[in-house]
């Protein structure tokens, strides 16, 4: 027993020394919106970093120093690659060379709105093949409470190594907000929860070496997992309230945006959330349903979360119905009308269209026979339901020739003066025209 404890202390001390001396080699699995920024920051902190991804084109782009993630500075990536501190590979045998590895892979929902943890599971299995004493594994993918200890830990311990003694395991949720001008991977506070006290201490030491933000340690991975779900559920529910208010205000002839701006003047007890055409991105439309799924294991139904999901998921249909009503006032049917959608991304000034409500709006419009034109300065083309769509440049001619223009994403690059001057009929789902001259037939969501 004493020998086992000494062995554990030796692994912990050795890894701590490597982290503080920057001699530890770092692995990051998944080079997407979470993994690539994290890999770059770890390399900038002075570590040698190996990024792993199953997509060869991402591996090739990283190794050539070509950036494809908006939250990464192009020059930072190129400098780290050219200096030899960052490289990418699809060969998972290189995991045997690293001292710590972070799992930053997708955690989508399946067709039944249930968690698909296959990417996490497959990553854990690859790590298990090359797991060695003294290694730290950190799961960063957003998931349901219990994933780290119920799914990842048994896979790693199937090797015969014991968590907390031979290797270390923790959960530290990503906090990526694409397009945020103030907070990024480097300066956003980090939450860490280890399986054991040593696991937490080592994970904390790693992130303190890499990040500027506070590292907040919690008592377990489950607490850290729940914390992440709670963050996104908070936004999910409050956005649903804003959307429901928008629907009601629309019927009552009240400007919901003016209502929210007035409510913001209260200096306590209120936080502004805004309506829109629906939710997008990886986190808010998906993460709360991880919790509803897990809650059923405990014979509990998260009614508020599920109701919020119904409201938010109904918004694309509400927008399409609004488009049809506005066209009808001009004696035009939706069938055969030209609908010009401005924006594809799920939020302004980014190129991320994952789960974007605009995709559903396009699908609904086309199903009802409308001709859809799309402009997005950040997304020249995209794929949806097996079809490739190309976006076009915003022009006066396209605005004037369209039966209705819809501002779906309020990108800063759009010329809203031009939109106001040239649109025949305009539906603004984002209050983007606030402060600009508007056409005679202008309507807010």
Question: Which positions are annotated as active-site residues?
Answer: 283
Q: Could you give the angle at the alpha carbon of 295 between the alpha carbons of 291 and 296, nearest 5°?
A: 125
The two tokens of residue 29 are 């699995």
Distance of alpha carbon 310 from the chain centroid: 20
| Among 115, 113, 136, 161, residue whose Cα is nearest residue 47 | 136
Q: How far apart are CA 430 and CA 403, in angstroms?
A: 19
Q: How far apart are CA 113 and CA 384, in angstroms?
A: 19
Cα–Cα distance measured from residue 65 to residue 79, given in angstroms and rounded to the nearest whole number: 8
Whole-angstrom Cα Rg for the chain: 24
Block residue for tokens 């799309």: 374
What is the DSSP track for 199-233? HHHHHHHHHHHH-SS-EEEES-HHHHHHHHHHHHH
CA dihedral sign of residues 244, 245, 246, 247: positive
Instruction: Report the alpha-carbon distance of residue 409 to residue 416 in Å, rounded.
Output: 12
Tell how far CA 124 is from the center of its chain: 21
> Which among 326, 320, 401, 325 has a CA at the least distance from the CA of 365?
320
The number of CA neighbours under 13 Å toward the Cβ of 378 is 23
Tokens 């994952």 sit on residue: 354
Instruction: Return the residue matching tokens 């907040």.
Output: 216
Helix or strand run (H / E) with residue 89: strand 86-89
Secondary structure of residue 394 in the 3-state scheme: coil
Beta bridge partners of 443: 427
- Local structure of residue 138 (DSSP, 8 states): E
180, two tokens: 């945020």
Read off the tokens for 412.
């800063």
- Are the beta carbons of 142 and 176 closer than 8 angstroms? no
CA–CA separation, 292 and 304 (whole Å): 10
């Amino acid at each position: 027993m004493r020998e086992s404890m000494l062995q554990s202390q030796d692994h912990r001390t050795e890894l701590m020394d490597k982290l503080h001396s920057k001699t530890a080699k770092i692995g990051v699995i998944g080079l997407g919106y979470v993994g690539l920024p994290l890999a770059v920051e770890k390399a900038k902190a002075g570590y040698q970093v190996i990024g792993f991804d199953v997509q060869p084109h991402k591996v090739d782009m990283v190794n050539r120093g070509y950036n494809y993630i908006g939250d990464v500075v192009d020059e930072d990536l190129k400098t780290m690659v050219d200096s030899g501190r960052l490289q990418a590979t699809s060969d998972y045998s290189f995991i045997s060379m690293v001292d710590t590895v972070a799992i930053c892979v997708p955690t989508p929902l399946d067709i039944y709105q249930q968690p698909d943890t296959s990417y996490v599971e497959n990553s854990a299995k690859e790590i298990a093949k090359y797991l060695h004493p003294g290694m730290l594994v950190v799961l960063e993918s957003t998931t349901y409470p219990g994933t780290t200890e119920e799914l990842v830990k048994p896979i790693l311990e199937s090797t015969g190594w014991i968590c907390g003694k031979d290797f270390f395991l923790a959960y530290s949720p990503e906090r990526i907000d694409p397009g945020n001008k103030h907070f990024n991977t480097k300066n956003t506070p980090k939450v860490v929860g280890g399986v054991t006290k040593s696991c937490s201490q080592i994970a904390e030491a790693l992130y303190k070496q890499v990040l500027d933000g506070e590292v907040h340690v919690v008592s377990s991975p489950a607490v850290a997992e729940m914390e992440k779900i709670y963050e996104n559920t908070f936004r999910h529910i409050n956005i649903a309230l804003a959307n429901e208010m928008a629907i009601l205000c629309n019927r009552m002839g009240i400007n919901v945006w003016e209502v929210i701006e007035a409510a913001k003047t209260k200096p306590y007890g209120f936080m502004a959330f805004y309506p829109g055409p629906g939710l997008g991105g990886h986190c808010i439309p998906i993460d709360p349903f991880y919790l509803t799924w897990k809650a059923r294991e405990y014979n509990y139904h998260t009614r508020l979360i599920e109701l919020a999901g119904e409201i938010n998921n109904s918004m694309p249909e509400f927008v399409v119905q609004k488009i049809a009503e506005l066209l009808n006032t001009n004696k035009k049917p939706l069938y055969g009308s030209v609908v010009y959608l401005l924006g594809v991304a799920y939020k302004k000034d980014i190129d991320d269209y994952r789960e974007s409500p605009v995709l559903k709006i396009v699908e609904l419009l086309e199903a009802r026979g409308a001709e859809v034109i799309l402009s997005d300065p950040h997304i020249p083309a995209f794929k949806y339901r097996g079809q490739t769509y190309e976006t076009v440049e915003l022009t006066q001619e396209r605005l004037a020739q369209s039966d209705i223009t819809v501002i779906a994403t309020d990108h800063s690059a759009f010329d809203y003066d031009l939109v106001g001057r040239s649109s025949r009929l305009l539906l603004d789902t984002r209050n983007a025209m606030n402060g600009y001259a508007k056409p005679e037939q202008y309507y807010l969501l």
